[in-house]
Amino acid sequence: MRREDETDETSVFRRVVLKNASPYHYMKICLVLDDESTKLSAVDLKLFILTGLKNLFGEVGAAISFDLLKYDEDTLSGLLRVPSRSLVKLWSSLTLLGFYQNQACAFRVLQVSPYLLSLTGNSRELKLD
């Protein structure tokens, strides 16, 4: 899916248009638990997400290699990286996860993008002082 637009060997100018070529998608997520005092380590969170994938998509789901790029234990929020072709599966399994160790929970997906950079500049988060 790569298209060379113009190539001019004599000058330094070069332009490449990449369509749907992003290998990964990135998600900003936050876990909300019924009992807000529950603690979850990064490893706990990753294992929990893996169970969700396995519940919904079986072994194929459990084989999806996603990354927990960043995690804040105090707010239970973090950034995930997932191969683009597995985004729909990971996202839907997060959506359908309703219980963490028998207590009600919900994943709030705050932003999804094919670019990690976009997650650092979301104008919907703009707060006017």
Query: Which residues sit at the interface with another protein, rule CB under 8 A?
Result: 11-26, 32, 34, 42-43, 46, 55-56, 65, 67-71, 79, 81, 84-89, 91-92, 94-98, 104-106, 108-109, 111-124, 126, 128-129
30 and 107 Cβ atoms separated by less than 8 Å: yes
The residue (of 75 and 120) whose beta carbon lies closer to another protein is 120
The residue (of 101 and 122) whose beta carbon lies closer to another protein is 122
Instruction: State in angstroms the smallest separation of the CB of 59 from another protein.
Output: 16
Instruction: State in angstroms the smallest separation of the CB of 63 from another protein.
Output: 14
Burial class from Cβ neighbours inside 10 Å (0-12, 13-18, 19+) for residue 90 reads: buried
Q: Side chain identity at 121, as an amino acid letter?
A: G
Instruction: State in angstroms the smallest separation of the CB of 39 from another protein.
Output: 17
| Cα torsion through 105, 110, 54, 74, rounded to 10 | -60
Instruction: State in angstroms the smallest separation of the CB of 113 from another protein.
Output: 5
Burial class from Cβ neighbours inside 10 Å (0-12, 13-18, 19+) for residue 66 reads: buried
